[in-house]
Amino acid sequence: MKGHTPRRRFGQNFLVDRGIIRSIIEVIAPQPQQIMVEIGPGLGAITEPLLERLDHLHVIEIDRDIVARLQAQYQPGRLTIHAGDVLDFDFAALPAPFRLVGNLPYNISTELLFRLVPHAHRLIDAHFMLQREVVDRMVAAPSTSDYGRLSVMLQYRFAMTKLIDVPPDAFRPAPKVNSAVVRLRPRAPHDLTVVDEALLGRVVTAGFTKRRKTLRNALEGVIDASGLEALKINPQLRPENLGVADYVAIANRVAQA
Ligand code: SAM
């Protein structure tokens, strides 16, 4: 690993399959002047081919040894290194619109995805390598077992497409799980408008905390049966049966109450 011992605590499974790397770069199709940010560049599997096509790249990296390698390898004019935890990174400070890319450390991936939701309007798109099971949850349709809080909160803001299936042997060390590359593109702002995004998050959390109960019970204290009926939502349904637009409608009604 070019003299670097992979650190499990940082989810370091480095991409080594050249064919997969080429496919990732092809689907991203970087254009020289675009503002692009890579989360977790590691040993540069994606960083290097990105920099062959871009004038400049931002990277966010937590591992100090890797930061030191990147500092030695690249000129600051080509690579801006943000050393630290991406969960503390201020995406609002980046010039917009920007593109995001990352073979993400799997232990923080869902938390990171939730944190990106409020920044959707500043993004062109994002391409992430994730556990395939997480990608399945992101793109899941209502009334399926994969459908949950992650599906609703991301589908509210993004159109998402699973692009590439990636087997464990594409990485060193090989992870125990299958992976997939997913594209997120922000939905048009007028598409689904919620008055209070934090409230939407609370309604969705309340629903999926009790996903086997009826809506009447799961959303007790949030909205009553008559409120649901006024929205033409049957209170006997279960939280997993509602589409994103239904959750937006509930959050907007609660906001007006
Ligand atoms: N991009 C490289 C590749 O494809 O081979 C490395 C991918 S590896 C799965 C994840 C990378 O994210 C590692 O470089 C790791 O050090 C970095 N990382 C892990 N946790 C992080 C965090 N909280 N913030 C920023 N970077 C992190």
Condensed to tens digits (0 to 9), the pLDDT of residues 62-108 reads 999 999 999 999 998 999 999 999 999 999 999 999 999 999 999 99
Residue with the smallest CA separation from ligand 1 atom 22 is: 85
CA pseudo-torsion sign 97, 101, 102, 108? positive
Q: What percent of the chain has pLDDT over 70?
A: 98
d(CA 156, CA 165): 24
**The model's pTM:** 0.95
Does the pLDDT value for residue 1 go beyond 80?
no
Say how many C-beta atoms besides its own lie within 10 A of residue 93's C-beta. Answer: 7
Angle between helices 149-157 and 109-116 (to 10 degrees): 40
**Ligand 1 pocket, residue 40 CB under 6 Å:** yes
Position 3 scores a pLDDT of 85
Position 31 scores a pLDDT of 98
**Ligand 1 pocket, residue 49 CB under 6 Å:** no
| Mean pLDDT confidence for 5-32 | 97
Q: Which residue among 9, 67, 103 is best mutated to probe the pocket of ligand 1, counting the most ligand atoms within 8 A of its Cβ?
A: 103
Radius of gyration of the chain (CA): 20
- For residue 188, what pLDDT band results from cuts at 50, 70 and 90? confident
Does the pLDDT value for residue 48 go beyond 90?
yes
- Are 236 and 216 in contact, with CB atoms under 8 Å apart? yes
Does the pLDDT value for residue 204 go beyond 80?
yes
pLDDT tens figures, 149-187: 999 999 999 999 999 999 999 999 999 999 999 999 999
What secondary structure letter does DSSP report for 175? P
